[in-house]
Structure 1
Amino acid sequence: MVARSGEELLKICEEENISLSEYAIRLEMEDKGLTREEVFEKMAKNLEVMREGANEGREKKIYSVSGLIGGDGYKINKYLREGKTLTGAVTVRAMAMALSSSEVNAAMGRIVACPTAGSCGILPAVILSAGEKLEKTDEELIEGLFAAAAVGMIIGMNATLAGAEGGCQAECGSAAAMGSAAVVEMMGGTPKMSLDAGAIVLKNVLGLVCDPVAGLVEIPCAKRNAAGAISALCTADMVMAGVDSKIPFDDTVSAMYKVGKSLPAALRETAMGGVAVTKAGLELRKKVFGEE
């Protein structure tokens, strides 16, 4: 049975006494006609690409083709090594990983668009940084990715994952919701707790616009990836402490979709609003396209 809503997903998990990740694994096996080993092997390849992208920009300075962004993942990783962080190693490492993946993407490198290229840094940063702290194996990290997939499927069915349709709340918001839900499962939380985490993350970014400077997925996108990763991790802690979402996951997804549809076109990836049309944003656009 394919869950069409968070409520249906929870019902299936409860009736069959399975986790979100197990639901996604079984669904993939049935849908693609693959064995469990084959399904894990496919996801393992995604994990490896995610790991490469999350590390490359931390180990060396990576610059986008446009030259608008680059080197920030390296800077933050250097800052982490210096031991001066205020918020701790997990959060700072996650920011560095998220920025690294975003920079690799903008440099035309290899990433996993999960759920989109513009939000590609969030899930790897969340899964890998949490996995390191929790001392998880690669197999457990892969299960975390499947848990994220279960949540992402529900969002995709009932709302949107595209910034052009729903603003950045649909891209970075969905990625962060997926990541937070996955970490809750990795920490031993229930499917209900995972969906609570996803709901809280989405509520906190309702209305977030998509306003890429020069129409490129670089500014402010990369830093929103870093912020999304931190939101995911902090929300996972919140839920594991016993905090629940007063607004159910399905209601939150519905609200996100309606808010996205209400956003004017200028705030949905057209680069005609938000920071894209500020004085600095327009100057950067001229620089990219040689209009100076």
Structure 2
Amino acid sequence: MCHFNHALEILNLCREHNLSLPEVVLRSEACETGRSREEIWSLLENNFKVMEESIMKGLAPDIKSVGGLIGGNAYKLKTYAQNDTLSGSRVLKAASYALAVSEVNAAMGKIVAAPTAGSSGIVPGVIISIKEEKGLEVADAINGLLVAAAVGKIIAVNATLSGAEGGCQAEVGAAAAMAAAAAVFMSGGSDEMCFEAASMALKGLLGLVCDPVAGLVEVPCSKRNALAAAMALTAADMALAGIKSFIPFDEVVEAMYRVGRQMSPDLRETARGGCAATPTALAFARRLLEQDNNL
């Protein structure tokens, strides 16, 4: 009951012991860490509070990143979402929340790395927007975090969560998979549907490169958080509609790891490829270096 490294294993544990997915994760965490259930739950409550606070801070119109590349975008999107939009208010709420957290991170504010700082907006953006839109309780959101944690653990054990090792598919892709699974659970979907959604979200971002402009976790990282939040919700809706991934989640994780190993180092957080190698990005990097040399 203490151990799982694959989706198939945790699903079997849920069936064998007639337990919910978050309950198995909670018991596993207690067994592996030696902490009590109450202590783990309290830690999750604290993390959830930080997530909420980072969203509120990031929605301010005057927030600015350290590099000066982003700031105020979450406020713009939240304001725009009040109109007759193309994506719909629920999707744009999650996207604006994801932007908010990523902007707080880029401004050196306090966030929860879920699973990493560069992808920190996706899980809270999706979970908290669903909680608000559906009128759920904090406990429901924390159960969503536990489901997201299960997905994140499986990826961490069998692949990687590091952009330097696996590209942005390992960060934003993993976070989208985590958020999609949480969204399904919070919407009443089955345990199997959670992993169908996670699989589809991760497949949709397979091969995503990590290419921070000037080495800063600002562009294109922040906007990828918003886009991945929307993808997570779409994957969740597809799973809830009864659509299956065809490729099981465990196999998608293995594929993601292989793709990451095949990537050129230029596409893995070195700021030497992708968007970071464009003329605009290189010009900004030179200006930034000149400013640093003049200090």
Percent sequence identity over matched residues? 50
Q: Distance in 2 between matches of 1:60 and 1:67?
A: 14
Q: Deviations over 1:74-110 (max 9, x none)?
A: 11112123x2322211111111111110110010000
Q: Distance in 2 between matches of 1:4 and 1:87?
A: 36
Q: Which residue of 1 aligns with 2:275?
A: 275
Q: Which residue of 2 aligns with 1:247?
A: 247
Q: Which residue of 2 aligns with 1:260?
A: 260
Mapping of residues 22-41 of structure 1, within 5 Å:
22-41=23-42
Structure 1 residue 61, shift from structure 2 partner: 2.5
Structure 1 residue 23, shift from structure 2 partner: 1.3
AA partner of residue 62 (structure 2) = K
Instruction: Tell me if structure 1 keeps the 8 A contact 2:181–2:194.
Output: yes
AA partner of residue 133 (structure 2) = K
Q: Which residue of 2 aligns with 1:12?
A: 13
AA partner of residue 33 (structure 2) = K
Q: Distance in 2 between matches of 1:108 and 1:268?
A: 22
AA partner of residue 142 (structure 2) = I
Question: Helix, strand or coil: the match of 2:287?
Answer: helix
Q: Distance in 2 between matches of 1:20 and 1:194?
A: 9
Q: Which residue of 2 aligns with 1:206?
A: 206
Structure 1 residue 286, shift from structure 2 partner: 1.8
Instruction: Tell me if structure 2 keeps the 8 A contact 1:61–1:72.
Output: no
Structure 1 residue 55, shift from structure 2 partner: 1.8
Q: Deviations over 1:134-171 (max 9, x none)?
A: 21100110110011001110110000000000000000
Structure 1 residue 38, shift from structure 2 partner: 1.9
Structure 1 residue 258, shift from structure 2 partner: 0.1
Structure 1 residue 19, shift from structure 2 partner: 2.1
Q: Deviations over 1:110-135 (max 9, x none)?
A: 00011000000000001011111221
More displaced, 189-198 or 262-271? 189-198
Structure 1 residue 288, shift from structure 2 partner: 2.2
Q: Distance in 2 between matches of 1:283 and 1:19?
A: 52
Which structure would you say has the larger RCO, counting Cα contacts within 8 Å and 6 or more residues apart? 1
Mapping of residues 15-94 of structure 1, within 5 Å:
15-81=16-82, 83-94=83-94
Q: Distance in 2 between matches of 1:32 and 1:260?
A: 30
Question: Helix, strand or coil: the match of 2:59?
Answer: helix
Displacement over 4 Å in runs of 4+: none
AA partner of residue 109 (structure 1) = G
* TM-score normalised per structure 1: 0.97
Q: Which residue of 1 aligns with 2:160?
A: 160
AA partner of residue 226 (structure 1) = A
Number of equivalenced pairs: 291
Q: Distance in 1 between matches of 2:170 and 2:147?
A: 18
* TM-score normalised per structure 2: 0.96
Question: Helix, strand or coil: the match of 1:59?
Answer: coil
Question: Helix, strand or coil: the match of 2:129?
Answer: helix
Q: Distance in 2 between matches of 1:46 and 1:276?
A: 32
Question: Helix, strand or coil: the match of 1:46?
Answer: helix
Q: Distance in 1 between matches of 2:3 and 2:34?
A: 15
Q: Deviations over 1:200-219 (max 9, x none)?
A: 11111111000000011110
AA partner of residue 210 (structure 1) = C
Structure 1 residue 267, shift from structure 2 partner: 0.1
Instruction: Tell me if structure 2 keeps the 8 A contact 1:166–1:268.
Output: yes
Structure 1 residue 33, shift from structure 2 partner: 2.6
Q: Which residue of 2 aligns with 1:143?
A: 143
Structure 1 residue 290, shift from structure 2 partner: 2.4
- RMSD, matched Cα: 1.3
Structure 1 residue 28, shift from structure 2 partner: 1.8
AA partner of residue 25 (structure 2) = A
Q: Deviations over 1:172-230 (max 9, x none)?
A: 00000001001111111121111111111111111100000001111000000001100
AA partner of residue 198 (structure 2) = G
Question: Helix, strand or coil: the match of 2:95?
Answer: helix
1:117 aligns with 2:117: yes
Q: Which residue of 2 aligns with 1:224?
A: 224
Q: Distance in 2 between matches of 1:140 and 1:47?
A: 11
